[in-house]
Amino acid sequence: MIKSQSKICVRYAETDKMGIAHHSHYFEWFEVARTELLRKIGIPYSKVEELGVSMPLLEAGCKFFKPSFYDNELTVEAKIDEMPKATILINYSIFHEENLLTTGFTKHAFVNSQLKPLRLPSFLKEIFETYFPKREG
């Protein structure tokens, strides 16, 4: 498993009339955490794209348990639980203090510059194999 955490403070512009963070911003916060996760393992998005690979979104989901409010400091956790192949699944949890507010996921494909699907590119495979070593037998 690969995991990282990012801190987000809910801005006033991200809230509705009730002071509750609008649901659309959770996906932006997932992106912050995803970007930080890739940076943490040594392969920032900018480097992936420089090497001719993009990671378009295939699916996304979010489940809300409790609201987040203006000025809450949130911890956004991003996790990869299994070795990517032709796609990568990233799971997210958002906390305020110790309270779980939201869970979600994004699933991404690997494609070349012509948007042709790829298996996990070798430069990424090498990195991910350090976190998900092959099992014998």
Condensed to tens digits (0 to 9), the pLDDT of residues 76-133 reads 999 999 999 999 999 999 999 999 999 999 999 999 999 999 999 999 999 999 999 8
Is 16 marked active-site?
Answer: yes
Q: Which of 7, 11, 16, 57 is catalytic?
A: 16
CA torsion angle 75 3 102 32 (round to 10):
60
Q: Whole-prediction pTM value?
A: 0.93
pLDDT category, 134, cuts 50, 70, 90?
A: confident
* For the chain, domain boundaries: 2-124
| CATH class label, 2-124 | alpha beta
The first and second tokens of residue 79, run together, are 């996790």
